[in-house]
Amino acid sequence: PALAPAAAAHDISSCLLSNGVSNFSLPSSPSYTPLLDSSIRNLRFELPGVGKPAAVILPASKRDLQSAVVCARAASLAIRVRSGGHSYEGLSYTTENHVPFVVIDLAGLNRVRVDRRSATAWAESGATLGEVYHAVGLSGGRNLAFSAGSCSTVGMGGHTAGGGFGLLSRKYALAADNVIDAVLIDPSGRALTRATMDDDVFWAIRGGGGGSFGVVYAWKLRLVPVPDNITVFSIGRTGPVELIAGLMHRWQYVGPSLPDEFYLSTYIPTRSSNGNLSMSFTGQVLGTKRHAMAVLSQTFPELGLAESELSEVSWLESAVKFAGLSSVADLTNRQPGVRQYSKSKSDYVRAPISKQDAIKILRYMSAGPEGSIQLDPYGGAMARIGSTVTPFPHRAGYLYSIQYGVSWKASEIDRADEYIGWLRSFYTFMAPYVSKNPRAAYVNYLDLDLGTNGWKNATGGTSVAHAASWGERYFFTNFDRLVRAKSKVDPENVFNNAQSIPPLHYDR
Ligand code: FDA
């Protein structure tokens, strides 16, 4: 049986100290709460009712990390690994069913070493995307980049483990598609590399979701070429529902089928003003303004793009802009700018939604609480990679992803259930317009509404069949191979969470 939290904390501290790990914090320490809260992005999981860990361990080296895993197991504590803390469901620093646990926080493992000659980099998992972009962009020259998400405080650990989509993904695919080696700490604390880990395991850690297969200590990344100058824009359009629905409708034929060097996403908030709706477009083109204008005025004249709305910048400056920052130095600031209470869900669209249906969707949204939809274009390189090459299966035939979100402030906390309820009914409303059988979802937009493991449920709530009910929505048939990989590397299910991949024949 698991130890009581206080006893467990005592046990783990002596184990850590005897292994030379001194950088950890217990609940009695003044550093504990600031450390625990330091990278909590979603304030829903900072509320007093949420169970707290018996210790937060901050490994300073790979060896510390290995000891942390061994000591947590010796003290019968569950392990939660945190890189950037941006899990939508707080899975990197919470447990279900009040299971005693430790957080192994990789914030101190954030070194990035770039080798321009081979166009590769080793990044420790605790590095944020901003820290990776900063290191790559300042390694000399403007023409190397890394393909991953736009928010600078997202951690490499969780992000790459679940795929990692961003503004370069139509040209160079996901962060996980650009991983060429990794160091994985297994349940015994051993460090495995691509050469020494099972092929199924190396496949699984590149998109099968964080927290299931061990702790990825570091990733070897393929860097990608970009021009010295690229074109960027963020523009807003406002108007009556018919106008916005018209733009949304047209975008579906443009965003996913532009040439690979184009990224054009759109974001639509729920709130309208004076009866008008608004939407914004984010664009990045690996080419000149002239090239961007020539293609976009042809393919999307309805957007009415003006050359004065475009600017030419380096890829690094583009990363600063799309992270909402003001300087290159800000990329290394790990403190999230906006911390909110929020809930998100996701979908994929395979066939364009009609303009009439777009009107219905926008009308539904304008009766909702503060929230938004974000439409991210696939196509290009995303569609050319086979759906079983990595665990991430949403490839050819997937036009775009939808991310739905609602958010609220502390002053509205008593309305949280109402807002989340609205989001769920909106998701139900969207069913006819999105992918089916299964209704697909993106594991990095983690959504516990899709189902959860019940690890303490003796009636077998943890079965592979049960987990398949959401696992196939994230991974389709790749789910089976993920279960095989899990069974090889972690048959005892040391690394688990509410939606982790279960091993075969495990019923505890
Ligand atoms: P966190 O530390 O919370 O970890 C997430 C999960 O991975 C947890 O289960 C954790 O245990 C596990 N994990 C963490 N480190 C690990 C490691 N080293 N080894 C094994 N498991 C590990 N996505 C996207 O594709 N494109 C985007 O542009 C964005 N943008 C974005 C903006 C904002 C504001 C948020 C909050 C989220 C996104 N995301 C995103 C989603 C993001 O990719 C997703 O939440 C990642 O899992 C976050 O990774 P972190 O390391 O920050 O999270």
Which domains are assigned to the chain?
5-108 (3.30.43.10), 230-320+335-445 (3.40.462.20)
CA distance 303 to 296: 8
Residue 457 has pLDDT above 80, yes or no: no
Question: Are the CB atoms for 162 and 209 separated by under 8 Å?
Answer: yes
- Dig out the tokens for 114 from the structure: 């770039």
400-434 pLDDT, tens digit per residue, is: 999 999 999 999 999 999 999 999 999 999 999 99
Q: 168 by DSSP, 3-state: which?
A: coil
Q: How far is the CA of 56 from the centre of ligand 1 (A)?
A: 18
Which residue's CA is minimally distant from atom 1 of ligand 1? 85
Could you check whether the bond before residue 438 is cis, i.e. omega within 30 degrees of 0?
yes
- Binding site membership of 435 for ligand 1 (Cβ less than 6 Å): no
CA distance 501 to 471: 8
- Binding site membership of 175 for ligand 1 (Cβ less than 6 Å): no
- Binding site membership of 208 for ligand 1 (Cβ less than 6 Å): no
- Confidence (pLDDT) at 141: 86
Q: How far is the CA of 86 from the centre of ligand 1 (A)?
A: 5
CB neighbour class for 77 (10 Å; exposed up to 12, middle 13-18, buried from 19): buried
CB atoms under 10 Å from CB of 285, counted, come to 26
Q: How far is the CA of 371 from the centre of ligand 1 (A)?
A: 21
Angle at 253 between CA 252 and CA 255, to 5 degrees: 65
Residue type, 428: T
Q: How confident is the model at residue 507 (pLDDT cuts 50, 70, 90)?
A: low
Q: Provide ipTM, 2 decimals.
A: 1.00
Which of 41, 83, 402, 500 is the pocket-test mutation for ligand 1 (most atoms within 8 Å of CB)? Answer: 83
- Binding site membership of 387 for ligand 1 (Cβ less than 6 Å): no
222-275 pLDDT, tens digit per residue, is: 999 999 999 999 999 999 999 999 999 999 999 999 999 999 999 999 987 788
Residue type, 59: P
Which residue's CA is minimally distant from atom 16 of ligand 1? 157
Residue 458 has pLDDT above 50, yes or no: no
Q: What is the mean pLDDT of residues 359-370?
A: 96
The sign of the torsion formed by the CA atoms of 31, 36, 42, 43 equals negative
Q: H-helix or E-strand containing 365? A: helix 355-366
- Binding site membership of 310 for ligand 1 (Cβ less than 6 Å): no
Distant-in-sequence, close-in-space partners of 261: CB < 8 Å, separation ≥ 6: 170, 171, 285, 286, 287
Residue 508 has pLDDT above 90, yes or no: no
Helices (H), 397-458: 416-430
CB neighbour class for 501 (10 Å; exposed up to 12, middle 13-18, buried from 19): buried
Which residue's CA is minimally distant from atom 52 of ligand 1? 84
- Binding site membership of 395 for ligand 1 (Cβ less than 6 Å): no
- Binding site membership of 83 for ligand 1 (Cβ less than 6 Å): yes
The sign of the torsion formed by the CA atoms of 248, 252, 256, 259 equals negative
CA distance 129 to 334: 10
- Binding site membership of 371 for ligand 1 (Cβ less than 6 Å): no
| Index of the ligand 1 atom closest to the CA of residue 125 | 18
| Index of the ligand 1 atom closest to the CA of residue 165 | 25
- Confidence (pLDDT) at 462: 63
Angle at 203 between CA 502 and CA 67, to 5 degrees: 65
Which residue's CA is minimally distant from atom 34 of ligand 1? 151
Which residue's CA is minimally distant from atom 33 of ligand 1? 151
